[in-house]
Structure formats: structure tokens, C-alpha cells
A and B are shown apart, each in its own frame.
Chain A
């Protein structure tokens, strides 16, 4: 059973429907106490870094995530918050992966929205205006080209993250979610 982390106003609808479509058992969890019973967690980020971090701190989610040992998947903002600091709202994040989250330059159309090619050759659906810059290049699992090579995915120990939306990215998205669910067994 995979838990879909729901904090305050975060939109969990898309991820939940995708897991239903892929026949992956899942449950929306609203309290850190419910973590124990889950085999893994998906954290669909939505909204702004500042308010989300504040919410994670107030509800005790931040501590629970930092000490989590089972597979954890952060999507979009959910991946960005794994880093130390975000330029969006200039906020300190969870600090699990070393590095910063910086704003895309104004010279590009923002948000970076639509289907872009991953370094694997697959096309994935992106919607974001900020991008992760890991200190250790080895944590980057994939990149995409938008103005520059952007970090599109990370992995460090049990923490996984993708900047794109696997719940909306056609076949490659389905494959990512199914593979992640394999780890949660």
C-alpha cells in the first residue's frame, strides 16, 4: 500500500486517479502517524514552496519525512522540497539532498510547461518555474533541455524525486510509477 501524502490544500486528485488506473493500491494519508502502515510514500507537490514548507513544519510532516526510511517519491515541488533551500519564497526546505532550488531565468517562457525530452529519450510532462541544482551531480538521475540542461530527476538512498509529472506523462510516467511501486513491496 502506497500512501499519498496530503498536507492542507495540496492537490492529490491526479496522482490518486493515476494509481487507480495502474491498479497500484494507494491511500491518501493526512497525518504522519499513518506513515507506519505504508510501504512507501508519494508526495505530490502543488502550490508554493513557502506555504507548503510552513504547513509541513506545523503538522509534523517535515520531521516524519526527514526520518523516513522506506521508498519516498517527491513529484515536482515534492522533489524540490527535498533540497536545502528554495529561491521560491526564499525558504529553507527539508535539507535531505544537498543543493538549492533556483528560479528559471526570465528569458524563458515560464512556467516550463509541456512535453520535454528526458535524457532517457522519453518525453515527459513538465510544469514548473523553479529547478533543482544538486550539489552532488551523482544524485541527478535524468536531465531535460530547456534553455540549459535541467535536473529532471534525483535519487539519494530511499528518496526519489522527479521534476515532471509521472501521473500525466504517458507510457514513461506509467513505467516510473509501476517501477517505484515495485520498490514498495
Chain B
């Protein structure tokens, strides 16, 4: 689904009409071109441009054509344009200045000869039928008159022209901040499974975008709530994603066996890592992290063999960390079948290692693990399994690590690790705000609610836990159900 910002233009100004009434106009005191540019810089691909002057005067003004040309020449935006289109010359002029698609409204019901000629000349893909509905009746001429047709008669007529895209506005919802008429879209989708449906009217926030997606809309036009700053374009875009919150069991390994202790001490044996990996994979783990805490060189050599065996045993991605000191170590692990390699103390000691790994092996394969401990109002970075405190500020280090090339951060709160007291969501949120890469939350999982909090308050993209899974406090599917109930996408 695509979110399309809408700009209504009246006499060269950005405005909104309440309920289509020219007497109830809000002037947003901004220039349409500047606003279009700003939407483009926020990541918009399309723009819905409405010529209210044209609708009012029932004719196309040169100033509007100039605006369309300026936007299409100077931005990458794909423009759909409507308002006051009454002739084949209007359509030709708009397409000539760079409009991608033409939104037809009134003429659909007043001038079928024009519509037929237009489709013949320019093709059906160029047109969107705007149907403005009030109590199941289609209204025309800026909502002032009834077309005499019901919504379904209208859709039938549109389809008879060969137009397959409709923009449906519920007049009663438009500009009223009550949310879109999702029920209406659902019914239309059910009756017309192949129609491209664009929702418009009353869309407030990311939640509305989600429900429209679920209702089967192909795109959504958002005007007022974006212009008024009530919601940001990026927020709306994020709502139209199915990217799941990843659940990652972490297996600490030493000399080829799994271990996990509290606060990195008092280790207890929790089995064979390959067997455990296979079991977690079957239980729905999205990824696995193996942390090698081997002390000796001989023990550490076993990790390459472990990577190979795991890659042949499971069909999900896994990361290996611990004791990696060089690009060559990392390369060997990737060759053996690991997807990502995580470095921690070695990166703090020599940050260039991150840059070298990112350059030679790719950012996406380079994970930087950060162990942090709260100190006053901030957090400091710990190294060597949490035994040594450094001078580095955790947030600053996270920024540097990403600048140097880390494609993901594994953030462990040392205060919480092994306590079961919940993730340090404040730390996670601060880091997430400072960088633009995915964050794995780690340290402190004790209850199902802790996972929900890490996603909700910590904005974590992935959540890692060990003991709660190893000692069967709950299962991965318990965690996923809890996240799903809190309306986070999870992989079933």
C-alpha cells in the first residue's frame, strides 16, 4: 500500500476545505511547491494535487499547469492531478506538463463522451475515478450536486469505461478527524476484488493506515493530518510494513557446549548448541545468536566447525560473536555459513576493525555488540564480558559504530543482564533515536510483558533472550502471541 500526501490548491495557496465548503476554508499559509518538495524529501513517491480553483471556476488555469510542471521537473514525485477537468485539452495539458495520472470526477457523470475519448487517447492506466460519497450517493461539482447515482452504480459506470482505479472519499469523514470509513472500503473490496481502491477522507495516523491496509485498500490519500503536522509522513510509511519483530534465542558457547550464567558468571550447562539450534528453529525462532565465551585458543577453534554444522542444521539466519579479532576470523565464519558476525571488545579497542569489516564483508554482515552500564544520567561501555569499564559513552559509541559501518547493533544492558527485571528500554530508545540501523535488545528478559515493552518503549527491531528460553520459563510462541496481542507484526 502506498501513502500519498494530498495538497489542495486554491489561488496558489495550500488550503483545506471543510466538507467541500468554500466558505469554510483553512489557509495553511504555505506555498504548494515548497510543501511538495518537503513531502518528497520525507520519502513520498506520489503526490495527490487538487486544483480547487479549477473545481470552483470549472476551468483549468495556466498558473496551475505551471505549478504541476515545476513540481514534476524539480522533484521525483509522481503526480496525480484532479479538480475542474472539463475537456480533452485540460487532460492533454496536464499530461504534457508531467502529471502521471489524471483524477476524473464530475465528468464521469456528466460527459461520458469526453471520458471515452480520453481513455482512447491516453489509455486507462492514466486515469483514476474520484467518487465522493455521502450516504451511499455520489456527489459531483465540488459536492454541491447529487449525481443521482448510488456508489455501486457509480463503480459500475467507471468500470464500463475501463477505469480500474477508484479514489473513494467519504464526504462525512473528510477533514473531520474521526478516522476513515473502513467498513465502506472493506465492502467495496469484497465486491470488487480486482479494483485498485484509494482511500481518502479522515485519515489521522499510522493506526488508520494499518486498518485501511487490512481492509484491502491499495493506497491512501492523506491531507490535513500531514499538513497540520499532527502526524509525520515517515510514521505513516512505517505503518505499512509487515516486518516482524524478531525473537532471538542466544546461546552462549564454550568449547562447543552451550552455557548461560547470571551476570556472565556461575555458568550452567544447557546442552549441545546444534541440537538446541534445531529445537529453537522448530519452535519458531527468527534468528539465533551464538556467543563464544571460550577462554583458550583451542576452545575457540571449535566455533568454525559449529558455524558449519548449524548452517546445515537450520534454515534461519544466525550470528556468531565473541573473540573475533580480525577481518579474517569474520570472513572464515561467514564462509562456514554464519550470516552475521558480531564484534564487541575488539571494536572498542580498535574501531577501524568495524570499517574494515563493513568494507570487505559488507555492512549487513557486520554487527556491533555494545555492553552498557548505567552511570548517572547516561550509560558507559563495558568490555571483556562486562569486567572492564571504559570511558566511552554508549550512545556516542553506537553512533560511531554505525558511521563506521555496523549494519546492526546488539545492545545489552549489563545492569539487567541475567536479572529478569526487564530490558533497559530507556537505553534502547536513546540508541534507536541516535542511529538508523536495526537494534537487538538484550539483557533482562523475565516476563512476556518485558518483550512487549522492548518493542513498544524501546523501539527494538529484534529481541534477544537466553535463560527464559533455555530453562523453559516460556516458549518463543508465548512471546510471539504476547507481541501479536500488542499488535506488533510477528512471523507465525
- Give bound CA distance, A7 to B360, whole Å: 14
- Give bound CA distance, A147 to B408, whole Å: 19
> Assuming the A-B contacts A14-B339, A148-B45, are A110 and B312 also in contact, with contact meaning beta carbons closer than 8 angstroms in the complex?
no
| Structural contact, A105 and B43, CB atoms closer than 8 A | yes
| Structural contact, A147 and B241, CB atoms closer than 8 A | yes
Q: For window 445-492 of chain B, which residues contact chain A by CB distance below 8 Å?
A: 461-462, 489, 491-492
Q: For window 248-305 of chain B, which residues contact chain A by CB distance below 8 Å?
A: 286
Q: Can you give 30 A-B contacts (C-beta < 8 A)?
A: A13-B336, A17-B308, A17-B311, A17-B312, A46-B362, A106-B43, A107-B237, A108-B238, A109-B437, A110-B436, A111-B437, A112-B243, A113-B438, A114-B246, A114-B438, A115-B246, A115-B286, A117-B242, A117-B244, A123-B244, A123-B491, A144-B242, A145-B1, A146-B242, A147-B43, A148-B237, A165-B317, A169-B316, A170-B316, A171-B315
Question: With an 8 A cutoff between CB atoms, is A83 at the interface?
Answer: no
| Structural contact, A107 and B42, CB atoms closer than 8 A | yes
Task: Please encode chain A, from 91 to 110, with 1 for each CB lying within 8 Å of some chain B CB and 0 for all others.
Answer: 00000000000000111111
| Structural contact, B238 and A147, CB atoms closer than 8 A | yes
Question: With an 8 A cutoff between CB atoms, is B240 at the interface?
Answer: yes
Q: Count contacts between A and B, CB distance < 8 Å.
A: 131
Tell me the nearest residue of chain A to B334, going by C-beta.
A11
Task: Please encode chain B, from 1 to 20, with 1 for each CB lying within 8 Å of some chain A CB and 0 for all others.
Answer: 11000000000000000000
B436 contacts which of A12, A109, A115, A170 (Cβ < 8 Å)?
A: A109
Tell me the nearest residue of chain A to B2, going by C-beta.
A148
Tell me the nearest residue of chain B to A124, going by C-beta.
B491
- Give bound CA distance, A20 to B315, whole Å: 11
> Assuming the A-B contacts A114-B286, A115-B286, are A107 and B43 also in contact, with contact meaning beta carbons closer than 8 angstroms in the complex?
yes
Q: For window 299-341 of chain B, which residues contact chain A by CB distance below 8 Å?
A: 308, 311-313, 315-317, 331, 334-339
| Structural contact, A173 and B315, CB atoms closer than 8 A | yes
Q: For window 133-185 of chain A, which residues contact chain B by CB distance below 8 Å?
A: 144-149, 165, 167-171, 173-174
7 extra A-B contacts, CB within 8 A, seeds A107-B237, A113-B407, A115-B243: A11-B365, A14-B339, A111-B363, A125-B317, A127-B364, A146-B243, A168-B339
- Give bound CA distance, A25 to B437, whole Å: 37
- Residues of B contacting A129 with CB < 8 Å? 363-364
Interface-central residue, B243, B360, B436, by most chain A CB under 10 Å: B243
> Assuming the A-B contacts A107-B43, A108-B238, are A113 and B311 also in contact, with contact meaning beta carbons closer than 8 angstroms in the complex?
no
Tell me the nearest residue of chain A to B407, going by C-beta.
A111
Q: How near does chain B come to A29, taking the closest CB pair, in angstroms?
A: 16
Q: How near does chain B come to A81, taking the closest CB pair, in angstroms?
A: 15
Question: With an 8 A cutoff between CB atoms, is A21 at the interface?
Answer: yes
Tell me the nearest residue of chain B to A121, going by C-beta.
B492
> Assuming the A-B contacts A111-B363, A113-B407, A115-B244, are A106 and B335 also in contact, with contact meaning beta carbons closer than 8 angstroms in the complex?
no
| Structural contact, B337 and A13, CB atoms closer than 8 A | yes
Question: With an 8 A cutoff between CB atoms, is B183 at the interface?
Answer: no
Tell me the nearest residue of chain B to A20, going by C-beta.
B312
- Give bound CA distance, A123 to B244, whole Å: 9
Tell me the nearest residue of chain B to A106, going by C-beta.
B436
Q: How near does chain A come to B62, taking the closest CB pair, in angstroms?
A: 33
Tell me the nearest residue of chain A to B44, going by C-beta.
A105
- Give bound CA distance, A146 to B363, whole Å: 20
- Residues of B contacting A105 with CB < 8 Å? 43
- Residues of A contacting B93 with CB < 8 Å? none
| Structural contact, B437 and A110, CB atoms closer than 8 A | yes
Tell me the nearest residue of chain A to B314, going by C-beta.
A21
> Assuming the A-B contacts A17-B308, A110-B436, are A146 and B241 also in contact, with contact meaning beta carbons closer than 8 angstroms in the complex?
yes
Question: With an 8 A cutoff between CB atoms, is B233 at the interface?
Answer: yes
Q: How near does chain B come to A105, taking the closest CB pair, in angstroms?
A: 4
- Residues of B contacting A169 with CB < 8 Å? 315-316
Question: With an 8 A cutoff between CB atoms, is B187 at the interface?
Answer: no
- Give bound CA distance, A14 to B310, whole Å: 10
- Residues of A contacting B308 with CB < 8 Å? 17
Interface-central residue, A17, A111, A123, A144, by most chain B CB under 10 Å: A17
Question: With an 8 A cutoff between CB atoms, is B35 at the interface?
Answer: no
- Give bound CA distance, A174 to B281, whole Å: 14
Tell me the nearest residue of chain B to A125, going by C-beta.
B317
Question: With an 8 A cutoff between CB atoms, is B234 at the interface?
Answer: yes
| Structural contact, A116 and B316, CB atoms closer than 8 A | no
| Structural contact, A147 and B237, CB atoms closer than 8 A | yes
Task: Please encode chain A, from 117 to 133, with 1 for each CB lying within 8 Å of some chain B CB and 0 for all others.
Answer: 10000010101110000
A113 contacts which of B241, B313, B364, B489 (Cβ < 8 Å)?
A: B364
| Structural contact, B240 and A148, CB atoms closer than 8 A | yes
- Residues of A contacting B315 with CB < 8 Å? 18, 21, 167-171, 173-174
Tell me the nearest residue of chain A to B438, going by C-beta.
A113
Tell me the nearest residue of chain A to B364, going by C-beta.
A127
- Give bound CA distance, A114 to B460, whole Å: 12
Tell me the nearest residue of chain B to A48, going by C-beta.
B362
- Give bound CA distance, A128 to B437, whole Å: 11
| Structural contact, B437 and A114, CB atoms closer than 8 A | no
B233 contacts which of A12, A14, A107 (Cβ < 8 Å)?
A: A107
- Residues of A contacting B286 with CB < 8 Å? 114-115
- Give bound CA distance, A146 to B407, whole Å: 18
Interface-central residue, B240, B334, B408, B491, by most chain A CB under 10 Å: B491
| Structural contact, A116 and B241, CB atoms closer than 8 A | yes
| Structural contact, A149 and B317, CB atoms closer than 8 A | no
Q: How near does chain B come to A102, taking the closest CB pair, in angstroms?
A: 10
- Give bound CA distance, A26 to B362, whole Å: 25
Q: How near does chain B come to A100, taking the closest CB pair, in angstroms?
A: 12
- Give bound CA distance, A106 to B312, whole Å: 36
| Structural contact, B462 and A114, CB atoms closer than 8 A | yes
A13 contacts which of B45, B246, B311 (Cβ < 8 Å)?
A: B311
| Structural contact, A168 and B365, CB atoms closer than 8 A | no
Q: How near does chain A come to B376, taking the closest CB pair, in angstroms?
A: 29
| Structural contact, A109 and B242, CB atoms closer than 8 A | no
